[in-house]
A and B are shown apart, each in its own frame.
Chain A
Amino acid sequence: MIIIMAEPTLASYEKVMIADDDEPTRILLRTAISKWGYQVVEANDGEEAWRILQQPDSPKLLIVDWLMPELDGLALCERIRQKLIFQPYIIFLTRLSGTPNILKGLEAGADEFLIKPINYSELHIRLLAGEKIIKYRDIIINQNKDIQTCLSYIKGLEFLLFDFLKGKKD
């Protein structure tokens, strides 16, 4: 089956969570991301972000700073990958650069690693890519559910047929 998906448009209304303890940075990100058509949810530290992620209809796209009080970005990322069933798309956005840090971030479970100061064009492209991945993932999850339902119907029919044939034989 070929699945044709529409390109994400400007008005996608997908939720994006910004987890960053620096309020000026959150204001800049919020302003830019809202203009791109996303709904913005903000968290001041990792623990707050974690609480938001456990609520129903939580954001599927995350922008996470590394150095934050309470729970830092790296620990948040690891917790998400270990404990959440529905996995958000995680973009690390940090001043910590260099290959060892990038590897650490990706190993903790980040999907993307961007270095501050923020390059808004790049961030926008990465969000669009994340949105596409999440949409494809949701399609796969839904199709998988449909397949499971079909399989249980087939099994039911199999039992009925078996009983029917057994009755005829007897």
Chain B
Amino acid sequence: MIDLNHLKYIFGDNKNQIHEFLVFFVTSAQENIQQIDQDIQMKNIKSLMFHIHKLKGSAGNSGLIKLANLCQQLEESVGHQDWITLEKYNLEIKNCILNLQNEISKIFKS
């Protein structure tokens, strides 16, 4: 899930910096997810699109392609106002972030 080569291109071989960045990314993604949940509850399409787009961009730039792709699918289901598919992808995104957290712990446990 984590493209370490992508991050090494930016941070070099500094493992601590990569770790710090990924932990920060997860915190930022969780804040975005909270906003997305609120937007879904309020059915605020404009704000929802904004927050999904932001998370998609953030994930893509960080080399987290799977998460970026899920955001793309979520964005498309908002476009179709398909609330059932939207809930499905929203849940998948949350699971993806949980998996990301686990992977970070595994890679940087030492």
Contact = CB atoms under 8 A, between A and B. Distances in A.
Given A32-B10, A120-B10, A24 B54 contact: no
B62 A28 contact: yes
Contacts of A21: 54
A112 to B, nearest CB: 17
Given A22-B54, A117-B68, A27 B24 contact: yes
A82 interface: no
Contacts of B54: 21-22, 67
A146 interface: no
Interface string B1-43: 0000000011100000100010011001000000000000000
B53 interface: yes
Interface residues of B, number: 19
B11 A31 contact: yes
B28 A23 contact: yes
Main secondary structure of the interface of B (DSSP, over half): helix
A95 interface: yes
Contacts of A116: 57, 60-61
A23, A24, A95, most chain B CB atoms within 10 A: A24
Interface residues of A, number: 17
A151 interface: no
Contacts of B28: 22-24
Interface of B: 9-11, 17, 21, 24-25, 28, 50, 53-54, 56-58, 60-63, 68
Given A22-B58, A28-B21, A116-B61, 15 more contacts: A21-B54, A24-B21, A24-B24, A24-B25, A25-B58, A25-B61, A27-B21, A28-B61, A67-B50, A67-B54, A95-B53, A116-B57, A117-B61, A120-B9, A120-B10
Interface of A: 21-25, 27-28, 31-32, 65, 67, 94-95, 116-118, 120
